[in-house]
Amino acid sequence: MVIFKSKYPDVEIPCDVGIYQFIMSNPNKIPDDKEVFIDAITHKKITFGDLKRDTKRFAAGLQDHGFKRGDVICIYSPNQVDYATVVFGCLAAGGKVSPANSSYTAKELACQLLDSGATVIIAHPDSISTTIEASIDAKIPKSNIFVFGDHEVNGIQPYTSILSIREAEPVCFTPEEIKTTTAFLCYSSGTTGRNKGVETTHYNLIANLMQIRAFEGDNVHSGICYLGVLGSTTIVIQKFDIKTYYRAIQDYKIDIAPIVPPILLLMVKNPAKCNLKYVMCGAAPLSQSLSDDFDRIYHIPIKQIYGSVGVLLPNIEAKIISEKGHELYLRGPMVMKGYLNNQEATNNCIDKDGWFRTGDVVKVDKNGYFYVIDRVKELIKYKGFQIAPAELEYLLLTHSATADAAVIGVYSEEAATEIPRAYVVPKGHEPTTKLKKEIIQYVASKVSYIKQLRGGVVFVDKIPKSASGKILRRMLRNGIGFNELTLEESKIKSRL
């Protein structure tokens, strides 16, 4: 078995300070009047000096409110220009930050509050009723709920009411504590089951920042303007809207935008003047056809972040386990501590030697570029052979009658094996039996005998996806999140 190493030299990762002190140490000598966060809609600005002062005031207020080292703050809100004040204030107080999906229902939010052990919630004003409902189940008193902004909402005080006159001395950690103390508790998207709390330590975060700095080089400095990295100016859009997005790029002369495939698709469908230096696309696979369309319209480079292709960052090792379907394993200082309250899940993905099982099926070329093909859990097992749904999905999207597509494995009792079934959103054609046969034949003409669509084609009104664009195949298997456009499909028992 070959262990792949990064072509970049290892970087030294400091472990003498926590993430708060690391960020605020200001190695690039950013002046206090440098604007580091700007709201694209309200134009509210936060300078580096504001951030340093208010995070320590927020930390002091939390401590006066009974917040202790190791306590958890849950942030339930879409993007906010004040988000960083809460995040770094919590870290300065020695706490843990647990961001919650702003689209969560009260039940989903309550689950995260209970699992994370959060004692304080900072919410968006529009989400107060949901927050209060969830807080009852989680047994968090109203006095520990606050809203973004400067005004009381339904009896809930603004987060600014916590700000103390004094500035707290940020909590310090020993080198060993920096490596083991959780700073962030972000929850998985739950595409394959119950959401899990990912424990990211202070050391993990510092390591990743050092790796990115070494890799990006001149692209990471205080003169760059990002849409949505500290030290540089970051433009914050509270709620995504394509017109606001384009206007912010032009008004603030944004250089780099981190995005997800659905935003890239909107940009392709709604072309406009755009002077970005490049975009960073991640969180979900990006199809070749969408990438080509974007390049044809904008001529702007796309940097893909893990999801599809890339080289190893400094300090990272990789190996590919062929007997597990060419699954990628990674080892390095950025690998999470584990899953909160779930030792079994942690043991299943991080072995005793520190190798993290990604669950991604990959291949690597002679130049050291890794290509993510699919997820191991999504592989279709056909008579001992493995079929990657993403490969068939990309192929389906090249058919002129396909607007979107997803493929899952369904169980055939007749064949006693799983077989691939395609869910297709038709484009410019009636969803007829003739079109189904045409699509099946089209795929058959371009793949091996093993990969043919033996489970047929189902026409649907949409493909269920997460906000970042990941296909929710679990919902397809359970028959939710979409409507069939025809009912002619033969009954095949879906894999659970």
Which residue is associated with the tokens 């006095």?
143
Distance, in Å, from the CA atom of 339 to the CA atom of 353, rounded to the nearest integer, reads: 17
Q: Who has greater pLDDT, 58 or 40?
A: 58
Q: Give pLDDT, residue 378.
A: 84
pLDDT bracket for residue 229 (50, 70, 90): very low
Q: Give pLDDT, residue 216.
A: 75
8 A C-beta contact, residue 75 and residue 91: no
Q: Give pLDDT, residue 489.
A: 41
Q: Give pLDDT, residue 496.
A: 32
Q: Is pLDDT at 306 greater than 70 in this prediction?
A: no
Distance, in Å, from the CA atom of 69 to the CA atom of 171, rounded to the nearest integer, reads: 8
Distance, in Å, from the CA atom of 168 to the CA atom of 417, rounded to the nearest integer, reads: 62
Which residue is associated with the tokens 């659970």?
496
CATH entry 3.40.50.12780 includes domain 3-211: yes
Q: Give pLDDT, residue 493.
A: 36
DSSP 3-state helix, strand, coil percentages of the chain (rounded to 5)? 30, 25, 40
pLDDT in tens, 317-336: 999 998 767 899 999 999 99
β-strands 182-187, 225-227 pairing:
unpaired
Q: Is pLDDT at 377 greater than 60 in this prediction?
A: yes
Mean per-residue pLDDT, 81-110: 94
Q: DSSP assignment of 438-465, as one string? A: HHHHHHHTTS-GGGS-TT-EEEBS---B
The CA distances from residue 289 to 394, 398, 400, 472, in Å, are: 8, 7, 12, 21
Q: Who has greater pLDDT, 55 or 482?
A: 55
Distance, in Å, from the CA atom of 25 to the CA atom of 170, rounded to the nearest integer, reads: 12
Q: DSSP assignment of 292-305, as one string? A: HHHHHHH---EEE-
Q: Give pLDDT, residue 470.
A: 82
Q: What does the domain layout of the chain look like in residue ranges?
A: 3-211, 316-375, 379-494
DSSP-derived 3-state class of residue 12: coil
Residues 6+ apart with CB under 8 A from 247: 40
**Cα radius of gyration (the chain):** 24
**Mean pLDDT of the chain, nearest integer:** 88
Q: Give pLDDT, residue 419.
A: 93
Whether 316-375 and 379-494 share one fold: the answer is no
45 strand-pairing partners = 38
Q: Is pLDDT at 89 greater than 60 in this prediction?
A: yes
8 A C-beta contact, residue 283 and residue 307: yes
Distance, in Å, from the CA atom of 406 to the CA atom of 409, rounded to the nearest integer, reads: 10
The CA distances from residue 279 to 189, 257, 271, in Å, are: 23, 5, 15
Mean per-residue pLDDT, 242-252: 90
DSSP 62: H
The CATH code for residues 379-494 is: 3.30.300.30
171 by Cβ neighbours in 10 Å (0-12 / 13-18 / 19+) ranks as buried
Q: Give pLDDT, residue 263.
A: 87
Stated as kind and residue range, the H or E segment containing 187 is strand 182-187
Q: Give pLDDT, residue 99.
A: 96
Q: Is pLDDT at 168 greater than 80 in this prediction?
A: yes
DSSP 153: B
Mean per-residue pLDDT, 220-246: 71
The CATH code for residues 316-375 is: 2.30.38.10
Say what percent of the chain tops pLDDT 70: 93
